[in-house]
Structure 1
Amino acid sequence: HDFGPLPALSRLFSTPDFITQEKSQNHKEYLISGIKSWPEEDRPRERLLKEGEHKLSNTELLAILLRTGVKGDSAIDLARKILKKFKTFRNMSHTDMSAWKEFKGVGKAKISQIRAAIEIGRRFREDEVKETRPKIRTSKDAAQILMPRMRDLKYEIFKVLLLDSQNMIIDIAEIEQGTVNEANPIIREILHRAIESFASSIICFHNHPSGDPNPSAEDKNFTRQFIQASNTLNIKAVDHIIIGDDRYFSFADEKLM
């Protein structure tokens, strides 16, 4: 799926630059004295402020989040090692503390900063959608909006695209964490949000933490109840989309709506 470009924070999901980036000839000298003694034009934070965040490599962006290095490694060196292990920022976002134990000096505070920045990048996409209010024409249009935010979650959540009569997005609502086995309260909340927003139609999403988006019997039963309840209130249930690991299942595409 093509999720479109995200400025600045979208770099969090791109290929790390350490693969092709060569160390500066002055790297050893910098390492000994630390980033603060580097020429100002070479320091990541100063470069960001002067040239813009889009000019920085993934290593430099991560170094800014780390803020400081550890004994023997500058923040740049540490960032490079972290990217070498995890390959992408996305991979960092769903790791537990044990995956970081080899990086001495990288504790809960630094890991929290990194994961918070990644989550901001994901939420940026939703904020952008709310501002631009695109028209939803296909299941792919809908899925690409919420895939980045939902595909890596380790628990089920429900989200709803609230649409006007022209299928343009009014809002994106997140329903309290739950499962399809708790269909009635979730459907009530979905329809409550739709009425509040004066939505003409709705697209319901939930994720499968397993990564497999194929629907279970419970998912199919939930969808039937979702359609019936929506029809009662004269709100069109356009689709129910299940998000997996870079894949999705659309009940509408499969003629199950």
Structure 2
Amino acid sequence: MKVREIEVSYSNQGNKKVTVKNSETVFEVALAHWDKNIIEYQEEVKLMLLNRANVILGIYDLSKGGVASCSVDLKIILSIALKGHASSIVLLHNHPSGKLEPSNNDKIITKKLKKACSYLDLVLLDHLIITKNSFYSFNDNNIL
């Protein structure tokens, strides 16, 4: 009996290795992967995967929502991180409103994700809320 096969691909051909040293680096890389025409109109969630040396393995487009919300499924986040052999992750999402202050839901999902990561020896390095001009880092603001 044949069952479905799950495929994960990774390629670093021609791409420069980027090491994350701070939240500014994460923001710069994330912004380069965001559609500038959508960032102010539609909420999106992305996941940055990193190895043990904090070198970025890649960015995964997790979900797209509407103008005020987006679905975030912890099981999908963890499965992508494990399949990508990540040692740490950064959750990224934009606020189309331009306001950088985290919502209560942003705080809840971050807390749940950090706890879930701890069971898998995976580190949640940060959660960034971004706009086209700036960002909010949960780590920098000591709420991670």
Q: Please give the TM-score of this superposition, normalised by the length of structure 2.
A: 0.80
Q: What is the aligned partner in structure 2 of residue 215 from structure 1?
A: 102
Look up the equivalent residue of 1:244 and give its one-letter code: T
Matched, 1:252 2:136: no
Deviation at 1:213, TM superposition (A): 1.5
Whether the aligned pair in 2 keeps the contact of 1:134 and 1:168 (CA below 8 Å) is yes
Aligned to 1:146: 30
Matched, 1:202 2:89: yes
- 1: CA distance, partners of 2:35 / 2:108: 22
Question: Where in structure 1 do 4 or more consecutive aligned residues deviate above 3 Å?
Answer: none
Unaligned runs of 5+ in 1: 1-126
CA distance in 2 between counterparts of 1:150 and 1:162 reads 19
Decide whether aligned partners of structure 1 residues 231 and 150 sit closer, same or farther in structure 2, where only a CA change above 3 A counts. Answer: farther
Q: CA separation in 2, counterparts of 1:247 and 1:234?
A: 30
Q: Residue 137 of structure 1 is aligned with which of 14, 17, 21?
A: 21
Letter aligned with residue 103 of structure 2? S
Aligned length: 127
Q: Does the 8 Å contact 1:150/1:207 carry over to 2?
A: no
State the partner residue of 2:56.
169
CA RMSD of aligned residues (A): 2.0
Report which of the two structures shows the higher radius of gyration computed on alpha carbons.
Answer: 1
Mapped partners of 1:150, 1:202: distance in 2: 21
Q: Which of the pair has the greater relative contact order for Cα pairs under 8 Å at 6+ separation?
A: 2
1:241 corresponds to: 128
Q: Say whether the 8 Å CA contact 1:201–1:237 is kept in structure 2.
A: yes
| Deviation per residue, 1:45-84 (Å, 9 max, x gap) | xxxxxxxxxxxxxxxxxxxxxxxxxxxxxxxxxxxxxxxx
Distance 1:206 1:239 in 2: 11
Specify every segment of 5 or more residues in structure 2 that has no aligned partner in the other structure, as ranges: 1-10
Instruction: State the identity as a percent.
Output: 28
Q: What corresponds to 1:231 in structure 2?
A: 118
For residues 178-189 of structure 1, the aligned pairs below 5 Å read 178=65, 179=69, 182-183=71-72, 185=73, 187-189=74-76
CA positional deviation for 1:163: 0.3
* TM-score scaled by length of structure 1: 0.46
